[in-house]
Structures are given as structure tokens and as C-alpha cells.
Chain A
């Protein structure tokens, strides 16, 4: 089955800096890669996603890139703000496992004012 590795496990940045979180996946048939933000006591919130026919996608301060050959994808947050502090999860879906998201272990992002 699919396996997703996520790095780093913790990331600390100063307000205004950029943050990058990286994930690798194992199943070359995977074709959908969402990113979720989870705040304390809440469920995961979908913040951006990318499909395998696209190499990059941007939404304001957030961008995701995908390298299908290397089987890795990354989340980029620019001009970070304290309210960006949360746990971020990458996930992968596809192949024969339609609807089943396989998640990474999560990255705790702390943005210091």
C-alpha cells in the first residue's frame, strides 16, 4: 500500500519568513495530494491540493509543488503569520484506493511574532 513520509516533524520560523514542508510517497499510481492544517482541538482543514497532471498550484501565500518523477511534493508558505501556527499534514490518494487518503506524520509549525 501507499506510504507517505513527511519532514520536518517540527518547524520554527520568525513572522514574515517562509516555511517549507516536504513529503514523499511510494505508490506511483497516486494522483491526488492534499494538504491539511489542524489546529488544537479541531479537525483537519483542507488548505490546498494538487493533482498529478499539474506541477504547481498557488493560493495567495500558500503554494504546493509536485515532482511525479521523484515522487515528492512540498508545501510552501510565504510571509508567515502567528495564526499559521498549527500541525500540517500531507496526504496522498489514488491508484486502486479511491477515497482513501494516506497521511504523513505531520509537521508542527510555530511562527514566532
Chain B
């Protein structure tokens, strides 16, 4: 186990709704990244947070947004949910912004109906 925790474990939402996913980074880690993993595929980078600011973003629309708190925990918010948003959402933390190794949490399984 990495020490990265995520909640909730599973979530079912309806198209058009909004969702908030939560992540607690491993102790001593100050940088958090979020990834989306569709079924049968590798994770895709959404964005990362360092010092409570977004610091790098992948090819995801603005309805994907996030926050990082002073204790380095983070939230991922998705507005106007679409069916294609159904996926496993993974949070990864690393010790410093310039560190290489990223450690993943167990993920939140989001189903949009």
C-alpha cells in the first residue's frame, strides 16, 4: 500500500450532474496528480497540483477542475457529466514537485448513466 487514499470507492451519477472526488496524499508528499483510466486502457493525465495551484494540464476540457488544500489533499471536480466520463479516477502523489516517483491511490470508480 502506498498511503495514498481516495474517496469514495465507487460512485454512480446521472449525465449532466456534477461530482467531487477526494484524495489524501502520502505523508510528506506535496504534489498531487490526477489521472483518468478508461476500461482496458492506460491512465491519462488530467492535471497536477503543487502549492495549491494547478501546475500542468493534460488534454481535458475546463469542466474538469481541481483544488489542493494546505494539508496537500486534493479534490477533482467534474461538471456536466457525460457518459464517456465513466472511468477509474486515480490520484498520485510525489514528495516534491521535482521528484520523479509517483505513487497511486486505489482510485474511484465513476459510472455515469
**Is A51 close to B, CB under 8 A?**
yes
Q: Are B106 and A99 in contact (CB under 8 A)?
A: no
**Chain A hits for B58, CB < 8 A:** 100
Q: Are B104 and A99 in contact (CB under 8 A)?
A: no
Specify which of A32, A41, A91, A99 is in contact with B55 (CB 8 Å cutoff): A99
- A82-113 to B contact mask, C-beta < 8 Å, 1/0: 00000001010100011111111110000000
Q: Are B106 and A43 in contact (CB under 8 A)?
A: yes
Chain A, residue nearest B97 (CB): A99
**Is B86 close to A, CB under 8 A?**
no
Segment among B12-20, B42-50, B65-73, B76-84 that sits at the interface with chain A: B42-50
**Is A73 close to B, CB under 8 A?**
no
**Chain B hits for A36, CB < 8 A:** 104
Chain A, residue nearest B31 (CB): A99
What is the total number of residues of chain B having a CB less than 8 Å from a CB of chain A?
28
Q: A34-B102, A44-B90 are in contact. Are A106 and B41 (CB under 8 A)?
A: yes
Q: A32-B100, A43-B106 are in contact. Are A99 and B42 (CB under 8 A)?
A: no
Nearest CB of B to A39, in Å = 10
A42 to B45, CA, bound (A): 18
A43 to B2, CA, bound (A): 10
Q: Are A43 and B44 in contact (CB under 8 A)?
A: no
Nearest CB of A to B36, in Å = 11
Q: Are B102 and A103 in contact (CB under 8 A)?
A: no
A60 to B56, CA, bound (A): 35
**Chain B hits for A12, CB < 8 A:** none
| Partner-A contacts on B (CB < 8 A) | 2, 4, 31, 33, 35, 40-45, 48, 55-56, 58, 90, 92, 94, 97-98, 100-107
A-B contacts, 8 of them at CB < 8 A, read A34-B102, A36-B104, A42-B107, A45-B2, A89-B43, A98-B98, A99-B55, A101-B102
